[in-house]
Amino acid sequence: MPLRHPYRRLALIKLYFHPSPNPMKVALYLEEAGLPYEVVAVDTRKGEQHDAAFVAINPNAKTPAMTDGDVTVFDSTAMLLHLAEQSGQFLPANAPAERAQMYSWLLFVASGIGPYTGQLVHFKHFAPEPKDYAVNRYDFEAWRHWSIVDAQLAKHRWMLGDDYTLVDMAVWGWARAIPFALGADAWDRLPNVKRLLDEINARPAAARAEALKSRHAFKTEMDDDARKAMFPQNARLAA
């Protein structure tokens, strides 16, 4: 079990949340670490991420974001690192080799897994035709990145070895979306990622994180209003 850090939290964390991969991995960390927090729902299909009050917290107008007292953090990777540094939980040993591996894999998820999987979902399920080139590119790159993760997990129980860390939580956030992104048969090619997903899903903290989405009436329809909120770049095509 992770050791509690002597840091004494004086303010309640506010997590600005939508039940998509990046906010979910932060919610999982908060639940695993036992840190008290309040959820502030941001319904992205209603365009609430563009509201001035939220943009003041995250100028990139994307979920998640977080306030920790008078500290504001946006970008899910920055949030995981902030929480881990403050709480001292789910970090590898504070030694150069171990921390280098943590940063390498954490940023691999941030710069590769997330963007390529997310863009594949966009072009495969939501983009207008013609889109063959884009779907082919992002499908190829998503598979390539996930295959690298699967190979790492073939050598270790967890991403960094024998211990469960914030890197596994980052992978979990996106692994939940693999069937939608890569297809229902994706697990046949990614058995080690599936093992990690199942093992984390069996943890009580994951069940609590998953339950957050049912506490708020998030919009599920991808209608014209949702497309305007989610894909504002399309207005340039109409012009």
Which domains occur in the chain, in start order? 13-90+209-230 (3.40.30.10), 96-202 (1.20.1050.10)
Percent of the chain whose predicted confidence (pLDDT) is above 90: 92
State how far the alpha carbon of 46 is from the alpha carbons of 41, 43, 82, 83, 212, in Å: 11, 5, 29, 29, 18
**64 near 16, Cβ under 8 Å?**
yes
Helix (H, G, I), strand (E, B) or coil at 218: coil
Considering only CA atoms, which of 165, 171, 24, 161 is closest in space to residue 81?
165
pLDDT computed for residue 2 by the predictor: 42
- Binned at pLDDT 50, 70 and 90, residue 205 comes out as very high
Measure the N-to-C terminal CA separation of the chain; round to a whole number of Å.
Answer: 56
- Binned at pLDDT 50, 70 and 90, residue 237 comes out as confident
pLDDT at 5 over 70: no
Query: 37 phi and psi, to 5 degrees?
Result: -155, 160
Distance CA 76, CA 26 (A): 6
Tens digit of each residue's pLDDT (9 = 90 or more) over 156-189: 999 999 999 999 999 999 999 999 999 999 999 9
pLDDT computed for residue 141 by the predictor: 98
pLDDT at 137 over 80: yes
Mean pLDDT of 27-36: 97
Percent of the chain whose predicted confidence (pLDDT) is above 70: 96
**228 near 235, Cβ under 8 Å?**
yes
Query: Which has more pLDDT, 223 or 3?
Result: 223
Average pLDDT, the chain: 95
What is the full DSSP assignment across 43-59?
-GGGTGGGSHHHHTT-T
pLDDT at 112 over 90: yes
| Chain-centre distance for alpha carbon 33 | 17
Helix (H, G, I), strand (E, B) or coil at 16: strand
Q: What is the pTM of this model?
A: 0.94
Beta bridge partners of 40: 16
pLDDT at 11 over 90: no
Q: What order of strands is seen across the sheet that includes strand 71-74? A: 37-41, 13-17, 65-68, 71-74
Mean pLDDT of 20-30: 98
Contacts of 117 (CB under 8 A, 6+ apart): 21, 142, 145, 146, 174, 177, 178, 181
Distance CA 77, CA 217 (A): 26
Tens digit of each residue's pLDDT (9 = 90 or more) over 50-108: 999 999 999 999 999 999 999 999 999 999 999 999 999 999 999 999 999 999 999 99
- Binned at pLDDT 50, 70 and 90, residue 1 comes out as very low
